[in-house]
């Protein structure tokens, strides 16, 4: 399982490197995922090599949110005095996301379940 994890890490590092060198306005892991998707489309057997490692990572995905939660709690004090703006932007972005998702789902063709 070391080789598949190495492949996944390699794509993440490639994404980080490309974003850094080209000063792109996207996160490095996102660029790495795009590179991985391109590689999977170009060479389908790669999927079988990384599938088990990817599924293992996905089964432990909730653990990956722990550092983000700790960071939010640790920096919560810096948001004092700005809670109205934070709550307003959170509610507004949630409503906007729900509205756009609803509009998108209305415009997508209905599947007949034969997929």
| Span 34-49, average pLDDT | 95
pTM of the model: 0.59
Burial (Cβ within 10 Å: 0-12, 13-18, ≥19) of residue 54: middle
d(CA 104, CA 89): 22
d(CA 83, CA 99): 24
Confidence of residue 44 (pLDDT cuts 50, 70, 90): very high
Q: For the chain, how many structural domains are there in total? A: 1
pLDDT tens per residue, range 6-22? 999 999 999 999 999 99
Specify if 77 maps to a domain.
no
Specify if 108 maps to a domain.
no
The answer to whether residues 8 and 27 touch, using CB atoms and an 8 Å cutoff, is no
Check residues 77 and 18 and name the one with the higher pLDDT: 18
Specify if 22 maps to a domain.
yes
pLDDT reported for residue 46: 93
Specify if 1 maps to a domain.
yes
Question: Which one, of 112, 5, 113, lies nearest residue 50 by Cα?
Answer: 5
d(CA 14, CA 53): 18
């Amino acid at each position: 399982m070391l080789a598949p994890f190495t492949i996944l890490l390699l794509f993440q590092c490639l994404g980080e490197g490309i974003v850094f060198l080209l000063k792109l306005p996207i996160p490095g892991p996102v660029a790495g995922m795009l590179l991985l998707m391109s590689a999977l489309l170009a060479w389908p057997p790669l999927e079988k090599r990384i599938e088990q490692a990817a599924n293992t990572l996905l089964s432990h995905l909730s653990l990956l949110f722990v550092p983000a939660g700790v960071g939010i709690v640790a920096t919560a004090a810096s948001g004092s005095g700005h809670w109205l703006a934070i709550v307003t932007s959170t509610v507004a972005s949630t409503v906007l996301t729900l509205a756009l998702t609803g509009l998108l789902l209305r415009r997508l063709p209905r599947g007949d379940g034969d997929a």
